[in-house]
Copies of this chain bind each other. A is one copy, B any other.
């Protein structure tokens, strides 16, 4: 839908490259490398899927014992569902890069995205590493963002400049791939962010965790998750500031806001890029007893195939929204207290169609390309908001025809 091809501000000391290793795709780059300066810190979050892919397991193992110097990312092969051999291959790709650069194997984190269940072609990957190292530049964000694409139609980049209390100007930039998680076997969500700030390791992890919660974890296409999802935030420490170590400090809050903004822009771009998506839908649930309850209701609406097909059809079929709220297992829900809006148009109040609602007004909102569904449960103060999309013919076509 919208292009997200804006250029990234480079991060001093953070180098990237894009290379064609011909792992699966021909005629395009499929290997991205990110090099971090000595002393950089990395935070990372990974998929919660029990079937974590080999590179995820190896990356977690390496992160536990060393600070990364290289992030090695291939597209075309997910190295998932590959058992012991997959673990050996992921570790071997890190070892190959370590041999060439003189760093420790544990200072390399591997990431893979592509088909599940096929062995990683290690020789091809290793053969491309010298070129990947030779091409490392601070300005290669756009090409690297293209190299990690699988079913994406557009590269995804986002960047923010911000100023610290002391007047220093800092930057956070990021790239992501993923086409709405509609095909986790090919459309793993990967995101890599970096800042030139120096940040304490624990604080960096807190910053990333918070940002992911309100961005990547607040988008949903169909409820499916991938075996390879990962998001990394690197603090290069090249700006020269004293490392941020106070979670209440204005500078940390400024950084966190910038990281959240970059993550949210990348997450929105992922939903936009879901093939088959014709509408962006913000589902907001408020006046819930707690955040868990709010999220469960929001997820039930956002995952309902009936609601999603009505959105595709621009049909203000509010009975489907009501039925989704009703089956979200909210303990002792008082239906008289529930209200539902499309944007600012109240459609349901007191357990029935709002007297002032008209089908024509509902129809006008449903015809928009961006739609807000808002539900107030009348039980408390908690609220949540997630971003989703409609369910179209093309969703079925793309997901049915892939591989066949």
Chain A residues at the B interface, C-beta cutoff of 8 Å: 48-52, 80-83, 85-86, 115-117, 182-185, 222-227, 303-306, 309-310, 312-315, 317-320, 322-328, 330, 333, 335, 348, 350-353, 391-393, 395-397, 399-404
CB pair B335–A51 under 8 Å, yes or no, is: yes
Task: Report how far A307 CA is from B326 CA in the complex, Å.
Answer: 26
Chain B residues with Cβ below 8 Å from A85 are 352
Please indicate which of the listed interface residues A115, A183, A224, A395 has the most CB atoms of chain B within 10 Å of its own CB: A224
CB pair B313–A401 under 8 Å, yes or no, is: yes
CB pair A83–B51 under 8 Å, yes or no, is: no
Which of B324, B328, B393, B399 is A306 in contact with, Cβ under 8 Å?
A: B399
Question: Would you mind naming 16 contact pairs between A and B with Cβ atoms under 8 Å apart?
Answer: A50-B330, A80-B319, A81-B318, A81-B319, A83-B350, A83-B351, A117-B319, A184-B319, A184-B320, A222-B305, A223-B303, A223-B304, A224-B320, A224-B323, A227-B326, A315-B403
Chain B residues with Cβ below 8 Å from A82 are 352
Which of B86, B318, B335, B397 is A393 in contact with, Cβ under 8 Å?
A: B397
Chain B residues with Cβ below 8 Å from A51 are 322-323, 325-326, 335, 351
CB pair A319–B224 under 8 Å, yes or no, is: no
Closest to A78 in B: B319
Tell me whether A399 and B309 are in contact in the complex, defined as CB-CB below 8 angstroms, given that A185-B320, A227-B322, A352-B86 are known contacts.
yes
Chain B residues with Cβ below 8 Å from A400 are 309-310, 312-313, 315
CB pair A83–B117 under 8 Å, yes or no, is: no
Task: Report how far A315 CA is from B115 CA in the complex, Å.
Answer: 14
CB pair B323–A49 under 8 Å, yes or no, is: yes
CB pair A225–B327 under 8 Å, yes or no, is: yes
Closest to A318 in B: B117
Please indicate which of the listed interface residues A225, A312, A319 has the most CB atoms of chain B within 10 Å of its own CB: A319
Closest to A226 in B: B323
Closest to A399 in B: B309
CB pair B223–A50 under 8 Å, yes or no, is: no
Distance in Å: Cβ of A266 to nearest Cβ of chain B = 22
Which of B49, B86, B225, B317 is A185 in contact with, Cβ under 8 Å?
A: B317
Further 18 A-B residue pairs, CB within 8 A, beyond A51-B325, A224-B304: A50-B326, A50-B327, A50-B330, A50-B333, A50-B335, A81-B319, A81-B348, A86-B352, A116-B319, A117-B318, A117-B352, A184-B323, A185-B317, A313-B399, A315-B403, A317-B403, A393-B397, A396-B396
Distance in Å: Cβ of A175 to nearest Cβ of chain B = 24
Tell me whether A323 and B353 are in contact in the complex, defined as CB-CB below 8 angstroms, given that A317-B403, A399-B309 are known contacts.
no
